[in-house]
Structure 1
């Protein structure tokens, strides 16, 4: 049966319900969002003489919840205009409207009795065959559909989105006793392809997969803190980016999520898994109980493990339960990993540490390894689902079994035994079968150890992906220290940046030119893409800073010209070049995207020309390109200055999109040419497909543009007046004004006496001249140095 989702009804508009509604709106689905009608008037409504029968009053709860969600940051929606896809109503008046929905999602309070009442109402109005799912974080699915019809139960299951629904990729699917295999298969594929999620089918066990393992991890840390006498700063240092976890690590994450939320799930597990070998770990330590009594829940109550007082951040002393100044945490073991770029390569070093950090990692990993081994097959038959859940739901770069593989299976067993814990027998069976790891890679695909067949089985769903980690060695065509070229198949190459933060320096530029050379001679097209956290944070400003400080202006001029020439090769090669940005795509990364034949952007792409933050203008063709794009929008009888001004302000205000969809508004992505994919994992394969389409259609090398209309003194005068006014009003500094005036000169095409048609090279030359002149300014060098040392812009 072919199933198409055109309309979704979401019942329950709290933080989670509104977030889910927004994410369906993100992907173009019509949404009906419902909540209860209020049973009493507010003071304002009473004063206005409104009644409980008034439509605005009856929809007040749902409308307030949705409005709060749309105002929240980070935003749950790709573009504010997408909110028009959401219609609101109340369950008393509008439940009948769910009859037109293809999928009904219940997101009400976590109480079984209330959920069952909601399902009773839903069954009265849903049309047969409509999907019905519950977004529960732990109530057994088998209890929810009791008493419902056969058709309801066949099309009913749990679908657990993680909060925030837009950003966290985990999508747990939990079948009920009668859920059809067709429904599970559909939801699994829909989650991956349309919602951009990592779909994981879980068993109907307490807290399912993600929260079962995640809450165990946090609770075991709570107990380990007391056992080892660690501070919260030390734990956050040890459990953050150094091991591939979010910057918020453990305690800051709990503050953001809410201690009360975590305790609710932990208490549920303590009651729900009495036979769990780690049952006692789900019991709250004394300091957590005291914090709950004090209502120190975290950000929502103004204090938790951390507390902000004026501009100072204080941390909680877990022994005295008093707040004190944050203490810096340092460990010798962590120093040993500073030269190891990838977290997965650090674990072998971390567990060998002879200080408190080494002891912490040995105990922590031993507990986690033992626990996850014992959860298979209890919570899932497939070990990879545990890793997928932790990566997608908790932001771990590597899952527990991947970390165990990195340390070595036998070494992991030694750690478990040294801690007096027990692991599952199937781990020994795996070794006996000849498998010495949980995962293997073969022919570009990932295989995992399957308990039933006792063999390595291909992980499903990979045909929709190209995983660069799996082909990097076998498909490598060329490499240097900053870039690797791989053959994706079908005559399409991929260029992958490998520099720190994927900055664009000499090695990367060499890689781009080499990739284009190779593709023009022997291949059909080129993709520029990677699967790191961010596409590129821009040009290597450290190199620019050193050249400017040493006053090596000829060398700097040559370096900038090489950057410009390389971007122009991306635009004007004889093969199609597709750029696949995602995450932070700033400065030079943005300029590269703007010069591609086509951009295949991940929905979560934060892209913009941010050079003003380091005291310069875009110098790799970005200023030229924004001028060109403005010119292309000039229409007869238009006020051309207004069009140009919009593009000027985008650069001068260093605007960065909060999604790929917003980048179209900025003029960085182009409608009708560039496309957006929701699932980042599918991005490289989609970019390859687009390169093949262009190649097979008979790609012709474009001709460089010589028809760019610049407005000369007419535009320059307007911009200069504007910067004078902004400076006089103290909105910008004198140096901001100097940078803006340089940009104005470039985007006006210089001080030409009248509008003129110019070439791209003309604009590139004056762009480079402006960039270089700013590099001679002391205040620019101060900005670059501040960015290099502090990681944030300086306003001077």
Structure 2
């Protein structure tokens, strides 16, 4: 890749403030890049504007469309922006008054309605005002990119390409890069690099073919299901059960996803593909089934119209029920529980690659469904090379990043073996292209192989395995575990990352922090102190950690094994203190849910390298206890470090108290800084989650090479009775106002006791161990209470907190 080293994008113009344009601007704000967001000028006044005496020339009228669109985007849930502060990085305007301002921008991205004539008229304006050399791109998902470049100047053509974001841009990491025959290759390379490093995207090079890669394959898969289910007699609920997490795909699966995205969007893409692909061997699958056409006629488009494949209705008692659409009668009915013997067989199989073999071997409808689905998918993607991509790994990368699949099509095929995949595909009446058969005949049974911790893919033109360039600089633990593990148990692995850095990886269920993980943390630090120079604590599971092993706590508490429980809590506390006080730097790299004990581990790191999408909080109140693994102590300590003068001490302490008492969770790494969970000037954020461990390793090396010295065990100030009085007033007000139950007040008083340092007559300097002992005592007390046990049991059985 020939990446220009002297090119920067300092400001962006986003043309069009609809669903995509406004959210692209907000994600640019997430990345620290200011943007100019423009849209059309209204043609008439609203009644409110008329009442105010405004005219069509009033600035607030002329920018009404763009400002309203941005306001709606900012308020949408889940939030498209890491912090509300970042919205100020966006300047709004309109096409008539503000188009000349695009000359200040290094990149101009068009995101207007999907009509070629309108896009061309926008590019007429762009051509008039852009500065030479600035990049111009379209976010189109369906119009050929080269058509938009026709008739443009040579400089425009050289700097023009497609940049297709997936919605919502903050959460879906795929960014498809589509050059035209005129695009300067260095511009293509630049965007592949810049989108990865600065926007946190999985950038995938695509050819200028209909729907590019992800939508071409993803919509094919959905349409194939639409055509198959009625023949198989499957219900909406059954299909969503079969195509969700059991396949390593989002919980929204097939039909719920269609409702969220909008059936009209899906139909628009499918119709476009049917018209644009006369020679596609499976073109007829893009033709709409009767029930889809009927739903379109009824305007049952999903969430945007209040009903689609599912419909939420209000009951007489005010509660809500979600109904499902019967695809035969097109009437809504009560949901039916979906259950298949084949799925029951997979419940104990945690490794997704091992699960596929069981799924296709099923002798029920589930097994039949998987055999049909996989066969159609394998045949389709194999025939798309080299049509949509010369390299098979790009198809897998696009499906993972754009549709949230844990494994792409060729990776699923790899799990079965090439030969087995050929047999399956042909047994279902589908054809396999000759290049795949040639591989099998040569004795090659995998599309991928791993060597020295690096993944290689089979390159068809050279008939050899090549290193994946898109994984350059990215550490994938699955590729290193077999050759670089220096110690392991059933719940934890210690892996040599090279350059003197060890990685401690959790491998327990949901990455809970039980004794196996804690022993692994201690062992990893011990090994590093002896033979290495730094430690990273991270993993590549769905979430960093949901906290301590709650079932273990519950069983000890219910059986009144309080000595054993005290020992377990002490072991957890000692482990997080081992993280803080070691002779080598320890960097913790959280991502996703980082809750309870997971958050406590982060709080004790020498430094943190957090994924941008990290959701961190001390949520122990939800199960009736206070943070007992050093979290209460640490936020009290951090309060003390912020004390500047006496009149703000209570305010600072109260702020941290409420973070725990309300189980507040930061909804991004940026917000974790605002909450005080991460430390400004020390901790860092990785926008691209794929680079998290690599970034954490580099941070550990930097700490080691800068002359790391273990922190000293300094004392800090607690406020005693002064704080207890303040907490007592606040807790009383929460109960009186109906914000807390009597038992939650009891829990809050235990928390207050710890954070005040006990009943001290005056402020005092205390050690960390002093507060850890108070914290553990309060935790144990709460575990003896019936209402706490009820809360824990409810969480274990329902996954939801109980308020009692």
- Interval containing the TM-score (normalised by the shorter chain): over 0.9
Please give the secondary structure, in 1, of the residue aligned with 2:750.
helix
Q: Is the 8 A contact 1:37 1:59 kept in 2?
A: yes
Counterpart of 2:640? 631
Farther-moved stretch of structure 1 (336-345 vs 356-365):
336-345
Please give the secondary structure, in 2, of the residue aligned with 1:484.
strand
1:4 equivalent to 2:8? Answer yes
Q: CA deviation at 1:729?
A: 2.1
1:304 equivalent to 2:312? Answer no
Please give the secondary structure, in 1, of the residue aligned with 2:294.
helix
Q: CA deviation at 1:613?
A: 0.5
Report the count of equivalent residues: 795
Q: CA deviation at 1:473?
A: 0.9
| Equivalent residues in 2 for 1:627-776, closer than 5 Å | 627-706=636-715, 708-776=716-784
Q: CA RMSD in A?
A: 0.8
Unaligned ranges ≥5, structure 1: none
Please give the secondary structure, in 1, of the residue aligned with 2:27.
helix
Counterpart of 1:275? 279
| Equivalent residues in 2 for 1:561-580, closer than 5 Å | 561-580=570-589
Q: Among residues 414, 438, 448, which one is paired with 1:429 in the alignment?
A: 438
Please give the secondary structure, in 1, of the residue aligned with 2:556.
helix
Counterpart of 1:192? 196
Please give the secondary structure, in 2, of the residue aligned with 1:173.
strand
| Equivalent residues in 2 for 1:591-630, closer than 5 Å | 591-630=600-639
Give CA deviations for 1:229-260 in whole Å, capped at 9, x if unaligned: 10011100000000100000000000000000
Distance 2:758 2:221 in 1: 61
Distance 1:241 1:295 in 2: 29
Counterpart of 1:164? 168
Counterpart of 2:118? 114
Give CA deviations for 1:544-601 in whole Å, capped at 9, x if unaligned: 0000000000110000000000000000011100000000000000000000000000
Q: Among residues 485, 488, 498, which one is paired with 2:494 in the alignment?
A: 485
Give CA deviations for 1:596-650 in whole Å, capped at 9, x if unaligned: 0000000000001000000000000000000000000000254210111001111
> TM-score normalised to the size of structure 1?
0.99
Q: Is the 8 A contact 1:171 1:200 kept in 2?
A: yes
Please give the secondary structure, in 1, of the residue aligned with 2:483.
coil
Q: CA deviation at 1:205?
A: 0.5
Q: CA deviation at 1:79?
A: 0.6
Q: Is the 8 A contact 1:433 1:455 kept in 2?
A: no
Distance 1:636 1:571 in 2: 27
Please give the secondary structure, in 1, of the residue aligned with 2:487.
strand
Distance 1:391 1:614 in 2: 34
Counterpart of 2:44? 40
Q: CA deviation at 1:410?
A: 1.0
Q: Is the 8 A contact 1:483 1:497 kept in 2?
A: yes
Farther-moved stretch of structure 1 (426-435 vs 294-303):
426-435
Give CA deviations for 1:191-222 in whole Å, capped at 9, x if unaligned: 11111111111000000000000000000000
Counterpart of 1:560? 569
Unaligned ranges ≥5, structure 2: 315-319
Q: Is the 8 A contact 1:435 1:456 kept in 2?
A: no
Q: CA deviation at 1:727?
A: 1.1
Please give the secondary structure, in 1, of the residue aligned with 2:250.
coil
Q: Is the 8 A contact 2:419 2:440 kept in 1?
A: no
Counterpart of 2:526? 517
Distance 1:516 1:451 in 2: 44
Question: Structure 1 runs of 4+ off > 3 angstroms?
Answer: none
Please give the secondary structure, in 1, of the residue aligned with 2:381.
helix
Farther-moved stretch of structure 1 (615-624 vs 679-688):
679-688
Q: Is the 8 A contact 1:160 1:173 kept in 2?
A: yes
Q: Is the 8 A contact 1:578 1:598 kept in 2?
A: yes
Q: CA deviation at 1:462?
A: 2.3
Counterpart of 2:60? 56
Counterpart of 2:415? 406
1:371 equivalent to 2:390? Answer no
| Equivalent residues in 2 for 1:450-599, closer than 5 Å | 450-599=459-608
> TM-score normalised to the size of structure 2?
0.98
Distance 1:152 1:396 in 2: 36
Distance 2:470 2:390 in 1: 17
Q: Among residues 343, 354, 357, which one is paired with 2:363 in the alignment?
A: 354
Q: Is the 8 A contact 1:243 1:344 kept in 2?
A: no
Q: Among residues 236, 240, 244, which one is paired with 1:236 in the alignment?
A: 240
Distance 2:368 2:648 in 1: 68
